[in-house]
Amino acid sequence: MQRFHWTAGHTVFEAEIDAEHREMFRLYEELSSAVETGANAEVVGDAIRRLIAEVEGHCAHEERLMRAAGYSAYAWHKREHDGARRRLPALAGRPRELLQYLAAWFQNHTSVADRMMAAALRNAGRAQRAPQRARRRAPLDATPA
């Protein structure tokens, strides 16, 4: 079974998003060990529900951030999220396939789409802070020589 292992290579350099990705990874590991140790259907089902809810909450959070920043690739990024939103519940009865799908999706999605988004969010944050910095400097600049 394909596994996803958290490495520094998964970071997107946005603390909040990285923390949510790590939480997804933790829930993935929880489900993975439940499946591998032959846990009963109730335990596996609970782990699947928690994992799907985490992915949904995380995608919705990223989408709010992208909308707030006026991110130009929002529609494309949301389509990638929507792919997972459709596929994960469809695989809820097949935990091994779900794990395999999520491992591949997470790897592809974070390494391209989430990194692009995080860079855009950082730039948008800088652009918003720039006028404040300029205003803070203004009285100094205006001081007569």
Asked whether 79 and 113 are in contact (CB, 8 A), the reply is no
List 114, 118, 120, 121, residue binding Fe ion (CB under 5 A): 114
Using the contact rule CB under 5 A, the part of the chain among 57-65, 87-95, 118-126, 128-136 near Fe ion is 57-65
- Of the candidates 52, 62, 91, 95, which one interacts with Fe ion according to CB under 5 A? 62
Q: Are 87 and 101 in contact (CB under 8 A)?
A: yes
| Structure-token pair, residue 54 | 């985490």
Nearest distance from residue 101's CB to Fe ion, in Å?
15
Interhelix angle 41-68/95-108, nearest 10 degrees: 20
Min CB(130)–Fe ion separation in Å = 26
Q: Which two tokens stand for residue 144?
A: 């007569």
- The DSSP letter of residue 13 is S
- Least distance between Fe ion and beta carbon 55 (Å): 9
Is residue 14 involved in binding Fe ion (CB under 5 A)? no
Q: Which residues bind Fe ion (CB under 5 A)?
A: 62, 114
